[in-house]
Structure 1
């Protein structure tokens, strides 16, 4: 009996060892996830060389897509679905959050689709990446005060995977900061960004004071003052 159990365990181990990387990922229920090297190491038995070989084989077959070094996902044709672009953005640049027009569109303030996923990234390096089947991703650094990077930013879950997304006022102020522009006024904002008037009216200025210490430039304080005056009318 014990001998039979050992033989079965041995054959099960061999069968698992012979599975393709795609089969292992699907069996784990991770078909729509962005996967790191650490997660792949937990899924796969054997040496680092075996893991390297399985990854390269899946890439050659077109079953796996490399988002960047150390970040992968199953091809949509294999996994049946692709991760949300905001989740991909987090995988491409750790510590970033989605903002600007991308966040405004997500919150329903912009009616038109935004062609790229726009994010704020810590540090000073601007970055741009293109991922097959997912589109373009742009990452912009802003002049922010230490300790306030995630002020006005929320955590949103897409099919079990989390992404950081700026709330509407933070996204709006981030855009002013990026463009180094003054507050254009409500009418100009509605025309320039094609923001839904009802959506803009639904915003409230209570959060503006909390966002005042976020930005380094004094010009942003003047922008917040102008916004508060506009809301008070």
Structure 2
């Protein structure tokens, strides 16, 4: 009888996060039999449980074949990479971020610690319905995709989460170490597109203050 690892690999899922639903389609028999097979694979070290209902082959973990951003999406489908993590990805801030930060469409915060991958944090924001993915792009790594905020969206998400007013250009360039040229490249249209995204009036005021300083 083939092992779970071979069945997962044979189905083309060897380097992907596998859900309970996918395992139920791959493994014949009753739910109890499937439960026993999964537990045996976990005890043998063939399979790693990332969180309830989400698994990854140990070989994919050991060989580093899963990009953290792809993993972040698989752990909480519907979320997108944002804030300092996205700014680092786009080269807007000089340092990499040890924690993968995402915005979740759900109502509560979540923090997941995944061995060999690090910490994943998911934050809900006060967003208007239908605008969740404004200025969010789909990127890919080794054939697997993830959603990530464009730089302006990532920056605004930070201040939405922290409930802070616009701090001024010097705070962005000196405090956050964002290159002034990157900020200067933001267009009026890009900022206008972000006005309907956030529920709180404070973010509309934030965008207006940012426009006055960047686009005199």
1:151-187 deviation per Cα after TM superposition (whole angstroms, max 9, x unaligned): 1111222222222111111111000111111112222
Partner of 2:65: 82
Candidates 101, 104, 108, aligned match of 2:87:
104
Deviation at 1:97, TM superposition (A): 1.2
Q: Where is the helix percentage greater, Structure 1 or Structure 2?
A: 1
From the superposition, tell whether residues 183 and 72 of structure 1 become closer, same or farther in structure 2 (CA, over 3 Å). same
Q: After superposition, what is the alpha-carbon deviation per residue over 1:181-228, rounded to whole angstroms, capped at 9, x for unaligned?
A: 111222210222222344334433321111101111111111111121
Q: Which residue, out of 15, 19, 27, partners 1:32? A: 15
Q: Distance in 1 between matches of 2:103 and 2:96?
A: 19
1:154 counterpart (119, 137, 143):
137
- Which of 201, 207, 214 aligns to 1:224? It is 207
Are the equivalent residues in 2 in contact too, given 1:32–1:79 (CA < 8 A)?
A: no
- Tell me if 1:116 matches 2:99: yes
CA gap of 1:58–1:196, structure 2 versus 1, over 3 A, is farther
Q: What stretches of structure 1 move > 6 A for 4+ residues in a row?
A: none
The correspondence for 2:175, drawn from 175, 180, 192, is 192
1:178 alignment counterpart: 161
- Give 1:22's aligned residue: 5
Which TM-score applies when normalising by structure 2?
Answer: 0.91
Over the aligned positions, Cα root-mean-square deviation in angstroms equals 1.8
**What is the aligned partner in structure 2 of residue 209 from structure 1?**
192
Q: Which runs of 5 or more residues in structure 1 are unaligned?
A: 1-17
Report the CA distance shift for 1:98/1:206 in structure 2 as closer, same or farther (over 3 A): same
